[in-house]
Structures are given as C-alpha cells and as structure tokens.
C-alpha cells in the first residue's frame, strides 16, 4: 500500500464515557490497520483518539466515531491533522488518571 501516512487527533464529545466507546474505537481502528490510542478525558464528556495511518482510512474511522457504539450519544467530533510520529506499533486503550 503506497498511501501517504498521516496522523490525527480526534476529540469526540457527548455521552461517550462509560458506554464502551474506548473498546469500540480500539476494535474499529485495529480492524482498519491504524495505530495510536484512545483515552477518556477528565471532563467526563470527551475522549481523545490519536490515529496514524493512511489519511483516507483515518477519515473512515472518523465516520465510525461520529456514530459510536449503541449506548453512546455523540454531539461533536473534531479532527486536527498532524504529522505522523511512527511511535505506535498498534492501537491501544490508554487509561487516564480519571476513570468514571
């Protein structure tokens, strides 16, 4: 695959904690072949996804995150494009200091 690598910081806002969103994001990103992580943010209404891979594949992940798992209610998804770091061998769940 010759697609140019990209990276994105994706912030998902809404009822996204305590509903299986991190597992949903990790499974979908892994199936898409992306690397990076997902983690809850302290405010209980947002989570952060850092994804690296082909830009088009990251865009596919964003579409999936806009819907989320069945118990989630997504209000907003914002994407900030970055240069890829190559630091992530897989797509993982990171556990923040705060857990709901």
**Distances 56 to 4, 28, 32, 89, 96 between C-alpha atoms, Å:** 9, 14, 11, 19, 28
Residue 1 has pLDDT above 60, yes or no: no
Q: Report the DSSP beta bridge partners of residue 80.
A: 9
Does residue 23 carry a catalytic annotation? no
Q: Could you report the per-residue pLDDT of 12-71, keeping only the tens digit for each?
A: 999 999 999 999 999 999 999 999 999 999 888 999 999 999 999 999 999 999 999 999
Q: Which of the following is catalytic: 2, 5, 23, 40? A: 40
Instruction: Assign 96 a pLDDT band (cuts: 50, 70, 90).
Output: low
72-89 mean pLDDT: 97
Residue 98 has pLDDT above 60, yes or no: no
Residue 99 has pLDDT above 70, yes or no: no
In order of start, what are the domains of the chain with their CATH numbers?
A: 21-93 (3.30.70.100)
Does residue 40 carry a catalytic annotation? yes
Residue 79 has pLDDT above 60, yes or no: yes
Q: Which of the following is catalytic: 2, 5, 22, 28? A: 22
Q: Do the Cβ atoms of 35 and 90 come closer than 8 Å?
A: yes
User: Taking Cα atoms as reference points, which of 94, 65, 96, 92 lies closest to residue 78?
Assistant: 65
DSSP category for residue 44: S
**HEC readout, 66-88:** HHCCCCCEEEEEEEEEECCCCCC
> What's residue 2's pLDDT?
47
């Amino acid at each position: 695959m010759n697609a140019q690598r990209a990276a994105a910081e994706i912030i998902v806002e809404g009822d996204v904690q305590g509903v299986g969103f991190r597992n949903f994001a990790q499974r979908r990103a892994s199936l898409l072949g992306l690397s990076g992580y997902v983690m809850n943010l302290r405010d209980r209404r947002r989570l952060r996804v850092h994804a690296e891979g082909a830009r088009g594949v990251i865009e596919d992940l964003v579409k999936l995150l806009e819907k989320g798992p069945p118990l989630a209610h997504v209000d907003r998804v914002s994407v900030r494009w970055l240069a890829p770091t190559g630091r992530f061998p897989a797509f993982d769940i990171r556990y923040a200091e705060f857990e709901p």
